[in-house]
Amino acid sequence: MSFACTVVMVIMGFVLLDFWPFSSLAKANPSLAGQPLWGIVTTLVVMAISWAILQFCVTVQGMDVVDYMVRVPVSTLFGEFIIVVMMQLSPFKTTPQPLRGIILAVMAAILALVMHRFYQFAGGILIGPMKSGAPGYALELWTANAMLGVTFPVIALFGDGFGFWPLLSGSQNRP
């Protein structure tokens, strides 16, 4: 599960980059953009990057695999989702790639850190004291479920289903 979450985190990172450098390579050489080559190459790169991140954090840094999953990919995914869904990728729209994607990724990382702390704090208030770490991983599982299992679908419903109404009204909530 930790690897799967890392893969999705890396894919969302490429979304922030508009799939740069692959998109630049495809423009320069359109034959690279065709399937199945495009899918195979991007999949292999995503898998390699994901494996390297997981190995670095768990093996080199010595993080517990469940703690890693919640602190790194789940929290980063939540930060990426905030930028993609709530901000509609709008910050720095005129900045060219890859700089724009790097700025958005840094924003996602900052959001990940802040939201991870916020959700763990909120868990202590809403649920009460929870033990962190093995064997139950109560705090980690609550944090991951609250971020991605509950809050993100509500954000998506609010944004996509209701056009951010009542925060935006009329023509403001239309693309």
- Per-domain residue ranges of the chain: 2-173
- The full length of the chain comes to 175
Q: What is the pLDDT of residue 162?
A: 83
Instruction: Give the distance, in angstroms, between the CA of residue 81 and the centroid of all CA atoms in the same chain.
Output: 6
Q: Output the CA torsion sign for 167, 15, 156, 163.
A: positive
Instruction: Give the distance, in angstroms, between the CA of residue 70 and the centroid of all CA atoms in the same chain.
Output: 12
Q: Answer yes or no: are the C-beta atoms of 116 and 143 closer than 8 Å.
A: yes
Residue in 58, 64, 56, 47 with CA at minimum distance from that of residue 141: 64
Q: What is the pLDDT of residue 43?
A: 95
3-state secondary structure at position 151: helix
Which pTM does this prediction carry? Answer: 0.86
Query: Which whole number is the average pLDDT over 26-51?
Result: 90
Burial class (CB in 10 A: 0-12, 13-18, 19+), 112: buried
pLDDT higher for 54 or 87?
A: 54
CA distances from residue 5 to 22, 54, 152, 169 in whole angstroms, order as listed = 22, 10, 15, 35
